[in-house]
Structure 1
Amino acid sequence: MGSVLSYMNPTTSSPTLHFSSKPVYLSVRSQSDSGQVESYTLRSLIESKCPSLLTEYRPAWWLKSGHLQTFYCVTGDFSKIDPVEYDRKLLRLMDGGTLGVDFTPPASERTLKDDTPIVVVMHGSHESYVRSILSPVCAQVEEGGLGYRGAVVNFRGCAGTPITSPQLYSAGHTDDLRQAVMYISKMYPNAPLIGIGFSLGANVLTRYLGQEGHRSRLAGGCALACPWDILKNSLRLEHNFFYRQVYSKALGRNLLRLMRSHLSEFSKYTPTSENVSSALSLLSTLPERPNLISFDDSVTRFIGGCSPPFPFASALDYYTWASSHTQLPHIRVPFLAISAEDDPIVGHIPIEEINGEDGKEGNGWVCIAVTKGGGHLGWFEDDGGVAGVKRWVRKPVMEWLKTVGEGVFLAKESEKGSIEAAGEIFVDNDGWIREVGREGLGCREIEGGGRVHGVEGEEGLLAGL
């Protein structure tokens, strides 16, 4: 009887917030006087501006465990919830690849000022968890939204973006995000950009911010259900029978379907690309439900990014390289990550990298908020009725995006040292948008794109990782 009551009444608690013992200081506009500047540490900023992170999260009674929260993400029907319309722009990259950047609200629906904050999302315009954030963030202020602009970066081959080069996407490759942000910055030079990533997209965002440091074109970041140490997560998935049969094979199957949908496009590159030839040869030997590591060992380690560093000797080598926890000490913009203790896909949360434990240096720019429940990108709580639920995480994320987008306009380290800025963006004689000091990167808009409906092609959580 006790176990039944425990199931019906899940334990509630406030998220545990982890900060470095060595703070940095942020200059923030005063809400009462935009000309006045106040100084905050990241801890005091979050405690004063993001109150939802200080209140308890109560999982829906019928979604108590992380497994149930995650399964509901996959099986729930969200097609009529948080509808979002986009204007798609197709970007051709200098290596021949193509990205799809989806802007919302569409230009025909509403005109926004050029300095309106932009939330840059990684990745998957149609995913329900992406729309659950973009819908209120981009809603008008009169409707309870923030009135922001959204820009979803759809990686190569995802959400209807075509394959036009011998390369797929991966959890570790950041140059595609780097070039998309360059394009958005060129379009809206006066707008602050704030990055938000979900799962694999959170990993890409974290790596980008760490690699860029002070050069980041994103003024801040938010990572939800980031996989952090991909090698440890892989070992956890593959060494547990239930996790291997349910999660690893679901992830591997969805990636296999994605790859097969682009088989004819990739086949064009087999005469000239040894990496594609190796990947397609091994792809043909995979079963219908391969483990995730089997897919990555056959495909991702060959074509998941540019060469070098691809190809990798094995999937394990790729996982070590692609992990994002090693980049946490190098982030130099305000960064909030939210993870769940019961996430069945992410088994390791790198608290020591920001706390400064176990010999780690720590980082005062980073906060990791950990909830007891929530699963992988779930965080469903009761919303009245018998089975009505809403996503708890939406409110703290909106508070964070508002804080960074409208308040934090200057950040400085407590330690001494010069701050390196991002390179100047220019358009060359051939029409490529490029950055000074990074001659190998560039993009330009090409024909195609058009209106995109946010719920079309919704395939569930595991397809978006």
Structure 2
Amino acid sequence: MSGIAGGSKEYHIRCVAKRLASDKVAPCRFVCMNFRGCARTRLTTYRQNNAVNTDDFREVVNSICERFPGALVFGIGFSLGASLLTKYAGEEGESCKLAAAIAISCPFDLTVVRHMMNSSNILNDYLFKPLIRKTLLRQFERNKDVILSSGKGFDEEAIRQCKTMADVERIFVLKDAGFSTNDEYYNAACSANYIGRVGIPYLAINSLDDKITPVQGIPFDKFKVNRNTVLALTEHGGHLGFLTGLQPRIWYLDAVAEFVALGAGVRRLEASP
């Protein structure tokens, strides 16, 4: 599952897919779920993706399990996709249909992320906030006919005039998701609240120098008490970067493949007579 406004075209997703498909121990087939209206797709209903609702991912998992009943299904999420994957795994608990889950650069506490993103610095003011704002507004323009027919009272001109991420949230995101305030929305989306309920093997990989999903939002206490979870922290890596070597490659590719291979081996041993 990709990050906000991302999709199957992203470099890191294609690299993970290639690495897992070519693994000698546990080769995998790869499915990427694109969020509604993302990855250059059009909305077919007025409902959009948000940071709270896990129903779309649940439907994808259920469909795969029904089509391939003997297959082990692993979930991998990136950024916001990692948060929704975590929330889904916690909601499902020990009944989760995934064999294991892997979260890369997960924003466990979106309230912390929001405060970090709204702070004024060069990266936020000139890169992150303008990019996210433009991406969300581009999604609106591409799907405005469907969105404006939703009956939710969107103001087309007000959306177009949004200057900041706070404007986008207030005028567009919150109204679409059905929440009254930012605090209400981000508290509902907080995947940190679900770490304690995860009932399957779960690996989280985060970087201490990630400026988008800061370390302050990681629920260390909940990781310590849930034996199903593993938290791997690197000193460097940024957000979804984790580049290493003289000819840079993504470091976590091998870590993800090893975790999947280990999980596949353990599940097969458990299933054997």
TM-score, L = length of structure 2: 0.90
CA positional deviation for 1:253: 1.9
1:320 equivalent in structure 2: 187
**Does residue 1:222 correspond to 2:102, yes or no?**
yes
Q: How does 1:113-128 map to 2 (within 5 A)?
A: 121-122=1-2, 124-128=7-11
How many positions carry a matched residue from both structures? 264
2:14 equivalent in structure 1: 131
2:241 equivalent in structure 1: 378
1:296 equivalent in structure 2: 169
**Does residue 1:365 correspond to 2:258, yes or no?**
no
**Does residue 1:261 correspond to 2:142, yes or no?**
yes
**Does residue 1:353 correspond to 2:226, yes or no?**
no
> Can you list the C-alpha shifts for 1:197-231, whole angstroms capped at 9, x where unaligned?
00010011000000010121111100000011000
1:107 equivalent in structure 2: none
Determine if contact 1:280/1:299 at 8 Å carries over to the other structure.
no
Which letter maps to 2:265?
E
**Does residue 1:286 correspond to 2:199, yes or no?**
no
1:182 equivalent in structure 2: 62
Which letter maps to 2:70?
N
CA positional deviation for 1:394: 0.8
Change (3 A) 1:405 1:295: farther
CA positional deviation for 1:264: 2.5
In the alignment, the residues of structure 1 paired with residue 71 and residue 236 of structure 2 have an alpha-carbon distance, to the nearest angstrom, of 35
Which letter maps to 1:376?
H
TM-score, L = length of structure 1: 0.54
CA positional deviation for 1:243: 4.5
**Does residue 1:407 correspond to 2:269, yes or no?**
no
Rg larger for? 1
Larger RCO of the pair (alpha carbons < 8 Å, separation 6+): 1
Aligned-pair RMSD on alpha carbons? Answer: 1.9
**Does residue 1:250 correspond to 2:117, yes or no?**
no
CA positional deviation for 1:363: 0.9
Which letter maps to 1:133?
V
Which letter maps to 1:368?
L
Determine if contact 1:174/1:207 at 8 Å carries over to the other structure.
yes
Change (3 A) 1:194 1:365: same
Change (3 A) 1:279 1:390: farther
CA positional deviation for 1:326: 0.7
Unaligned runs of 5+ in 2: none
Q: In percent, how many aligned pairs have the same letter?
A: 27
Which letter maps to 2:169?
D
In the alignment, the residues of structure 2 paired with residue 375 and residue 237 of structure 1 have an alpha-carbon distance, to the nearest angstrom, of 14
1:200 equivalent in structure 2: 80
> Can you list the C-alpha shifts for 1:145-200, whole angstroms capped at 9, x where unaligned?
74211111112112243312121101221000011111111110110111000001
Which letter maps to 1:314?
T
Larger proportion of helix: 2
Determine if contact 1:237/1:243 at 8 Å carries over to the other structure.
no
1:389 equivalent in structure 2: 248
Change (3 A) 1:314 1:410: farther
In the alignment, the residues of structure 2 paired with residue 140 and residue 366 of structure 1 have an alpha-carbon distance, to the nearest angstrom, of 24
In the alignment, the residues of structure 2 paired with residue 323 and residue 188 of structure 1 have an alpha-carbon distance, to the nearest angstrom, of 32
Larger proportion of strand: 1
Determine if contact 1:282/1:299 at 8 Å carries over to the other structure.
no
Change (3 A) 1:238 1:406: same
CA positional deviation for 1:352: 1.8
CA positional deviation for 1:327: 0.5
Unaligned runs of 5+ in 1: 1-120, 305-310, 356-361, 412-465
Determine if contact 1:279/1:302 at 8 Å carries over to the other structure.
no
> Can you list the C-alpha shifts for 1:96-152, whole angstroms capped at 9, x where unaligned?
xxxxxxxxxxxxxxxxxxxxxxxxx446111111011101111263xxx74211111
Determine if contact 2:42/2:142 at 8 Å carries over to the other structure.
no
**Does residue 1:342 correspond to 2:209, yes or no?**
yes
Report the secondary structure of 2:232's partner residue: strand
1:417 equivalent in structure 2: none
